[in-house]
């Protein structure tokens, strides 16, 4: 047993020793590897630590930069907020001061209103007592007293106004008459035109009574051809050795007169010859009208007129008004207008041109409807005349309201030329009608006792009832009658209105 134990114990001891040796070897081996690992780990740890420190330093630097920027921004915002708070605080203080001022002002206004209301109530009471006292003393109500006072004031104002108007009118008339007489007399003295001539006679003298039959022709063919070619009516009556031509157009009448005179002289009267001589007469008249228009423009000193205006101006040679030849009237008006314009400092060229053309509408008035002034203005406008000239032509009979000095001067020159002594003539019937119309206008006013048209209708004298019209009302009546005459009557020149108020005091000695 002991023999087995000893070798067994030795084996165990040997195993133990071997295991210890192996353990020792393995331990030494693992220790070296561990040391190597630890060395590597330590190196990695150092590198990691170094990188961590570097990253940490960078992170700290970035954090410091961000923090400094944030602090700067926060500081700026705090500064802005501080300034905004300061401004708001100032505004609040200003608003508080204004509110305090408004409150004090409102309190003052309320106090004044109360005081005013109190004073107003006292005034109303005093006024009421005074009105009652006035009504008691005057024995009139307030409305009656007010109406009476207004009436008195109106009467006084009316009297004062009439006196002032009368004084101003007298002074203005005196100066205007003196100035106008000087200018007009100066303008007329420069002219030497003839008196009014007889109206153009449309009568053709025949060598014998047998010529009437030849003019009529077989079954009236010659007279029909003549009337158709000329546009006039041929009147053959019992007048010995004469034929009358009738037409509204003076140019046509003149053409017919010349053609018929040539037919009578020639003796060959038939439709073909009639047409030939009428055409020849028309050509002659056209040439004469052009020459007459050019001569009139030259006499008036007007240049640059359109050829159609020259032709129309020449047609006025065969037109008359109250016996006054219209072409001569146009030239005379142009000369007078130029003289007036030179005296008052107006545009001489515009005035004399418009004066020469003022009746140009009469050259076509048989063909176009409307007032000759507006017709002439339209013609002048279409043929290139200036707006001032066109307006002066249209306004010379007040179809338009005169807006320029030249327009007034053209109307004045026309009135002077037509109204001067010897310029025009009227028939007895027209003369009597005009006088009666003037007296009827004057008699239509209240307070007029009698009226007389004198000086060929250029003045109307009115005698009023002195008990119905006083001196101031007589002055007003003068203007009213003149205005009524302007509105209702047509007349050449101007009409003077004179109101006469006579007061007679009669007493008897017994």
> Token digits for 463?
């005698």
Contacts of 343 by beta carbon, 8 Å cutoff, 6+ apart: 183, 186, 187
DSSP for 8-44, written as a single string? HHHHHHHHHHHHHHHHHHHHHHHHHHHHHHHHHHHHH
pLDDT for 225 equals 86
Alpha carbon separation from 43 to 34, 53, 425, 506 (Å, rounded): 14, 15, 149, 161
Q: Which of 261, 271, 316 is nearest to 289 (CA)?
A: 316
Low-confidence ranges of the chain (pLDDT < 70): 1-7, 9, 25, 27-34, 37, 135, 137-140, 142, 145, 176-178, 180-202, 322-323, 365-367, 419-431, 456, 491-493, 510
Question: What is the full DSSP assignment across 277-309?
Answer: HHHHHHHHHHHHHHHHHHHHHHHHT-----HHH
Strands of 154-298 (E only): list them.
203-205, 233-235, 242-246
Give the residue from 385, 355, 386, 347 showing the smallest Cα distance to 373.
Answer: 355
87/54 Cα distance (integer angstroms): 49
Q: How far is CA 228 from the centre of its chain?
A: 49
Confidence (pLDDT) at 462 = 92
List, as one string, the DSSP characters of 457-485. TTEEEEEE-TTT--HHHHHHHHHHHHHHH
Strand partners, 321: 324
DSSP class of residue 503? -
Write down the pLDDT at residue 194.
Answer: 47
Distance CA 359, CA 312 (A): 10
User: Taking the alpha carbons of 366, 368, 369, 373 in that order, is the dihedral positive or negative?
Assistant: negative
The two beta strands, 459-464 and 496-500, are parallel
* DSSP per-residue string spanning 409-459: HHHHHHHHHHHSTTS----HHHHHHHHHHHHHHHHTSTTEEEEEEETTTTE
Task: Set out the domains of the chain in order of their start, with CATH numbers.
Answer: 203-419 (1.10.3210), 428-500 (3.30.300.20)
Residue 309 token pair: 């205006």
The bridge status of strand 459-464 relative to strand 448-454 is antiparallel
Element (H, E) at 497: strand 496-500
Burial of 425 (0-12, 13-18, 19+ CB in 10 A): middle
Question: Whole-angstrom Cα distance, residue 424 to residue 430?
Answer: 13
pLDDT at 198: 40
CA 195, 421, 197 angle in degrees (round to 5)? 20
89 Cβ contact list (under 8 Å, min separation 6): none
What DSSP character marks residue 361? G
How many helical (H) and strand (E) elements, i.e. helices and strands, does the chain have?
A: 14, 8
Are 389 and 354 spatial neighbours (Cβ–Cβ below 8 Å)? yes
Say how far apart CA 181 and CA 341 lie, in whole Å.
15
Q: Please identify which residue in the block is written with the tokens 């005013």.
A: 116
What SS3 class is residue 500? strand
Q: Rounded CA gap, 267 and 257, in Å?
A: 15
Which tokens in the block code for residue 212? Answer: 């009437």
Verdict on whether the full-model pTM lies above 0.75? no
Please give the DSSP secondary-structure letter assigned to residue 245: E
């Amino acid at each position: 047993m002991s023999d087995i134990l000893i070798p067994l114990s030795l084996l165990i001891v040997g195993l133990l020793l071997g295991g210890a040796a192996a353990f020792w070897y393995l331990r030494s081996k693992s220790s070296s590897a561990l040391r190597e690992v630890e060395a590597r780990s330590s190196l990695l740890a150092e590198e990691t630590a170094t990188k961590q420190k570097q990253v940490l330093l960078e992170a700290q630097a970035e954090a410091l930069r961000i923090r400094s920027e944030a602090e700067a921004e926060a500081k700026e915002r705090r500064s802005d907020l501080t300034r905004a708070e300061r401004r708001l605080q100032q505004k609040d203080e200003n608003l508080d001061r204004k509110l305090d001022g408004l409150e004090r002002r409102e309190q003052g206004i309320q106090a004044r209103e109360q005081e005013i209301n109190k004073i107003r109530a006292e005034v109303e009471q005093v006024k009421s007592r005074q009105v009652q006292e006035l009504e008691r003393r005057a024995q009139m109500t307030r409305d009656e007293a007010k109406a009476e006072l207004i009436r008195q004031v109106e009467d006084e104002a009316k009297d004062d106004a009439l006196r002032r108007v009368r004084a101003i009118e007298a002074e203005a008339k005196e100066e205007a008459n003196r100035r106008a007489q000087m200018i007009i007399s100066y303008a007329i003295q420069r002219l030497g035109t003839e008196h009014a001539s007889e109206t153009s006679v449309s009568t053709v003298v025949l060598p014998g009574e047998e010529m009437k039959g030849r003019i009529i022709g077989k079954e009236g063919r010659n007279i029909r051809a003549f009337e158709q070619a000329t546009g006039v009516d041929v009147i053959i009556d019992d007048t010995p050795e004469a034929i009358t031509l009738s037409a509204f157009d003076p140019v046509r009448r003149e053409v017919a007169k010349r053609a018929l005179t040539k037919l009578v002289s020639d003796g060959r009267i038939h439709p073909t010859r009639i047409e030939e001589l009428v055409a020849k007469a028309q050509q002659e008249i056209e040439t004469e009208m052009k020459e007459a228009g050019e001569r009139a423009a030259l006499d008036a000193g007007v240049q640059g007129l359109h050829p159609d205006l020259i032709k129309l101006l020449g047609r006025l040679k065969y037109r008359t008004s109250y016996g006054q030849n219209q072409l001569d009237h146009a030239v005379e008006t142009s000369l007078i207008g130029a003289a007036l314009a030179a005296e008052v400092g107006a545009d001489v060229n515009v005035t004399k041109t418009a004066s020469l053309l003022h009746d140009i509408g009469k050259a076509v008035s048989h063909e176009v409807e409307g007032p000759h002034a507006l017709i002439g203005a339209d013609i002048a406008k279409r043929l290139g005349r200036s707006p001032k000239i066109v307006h002066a032509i249209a306004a010379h009979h007040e179809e338009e309201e005169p807006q320029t000095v030249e327009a007034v001067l053209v109307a004045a020159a026309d009135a002077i030329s037509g109204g001067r002594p010897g310029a025009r003539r009227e028939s007895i019937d027209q003369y009597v009608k005009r006088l009666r119309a003037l007296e009827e206008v004057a008699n239509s006013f209240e307070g007029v006792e009698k009226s007389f048209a004198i000086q060929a209708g250029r003045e109307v004298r009115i005698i009023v009832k002195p008990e119905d019209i006083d001196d101031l009302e007589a002055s007003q009546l003068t203007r009213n009658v003149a205005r009524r005459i302007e509105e209702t009557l047509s007349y050449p020149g101007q009409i003077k209105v004179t109101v006469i108020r006579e007061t007679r005091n009669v007493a008897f000695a017994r």
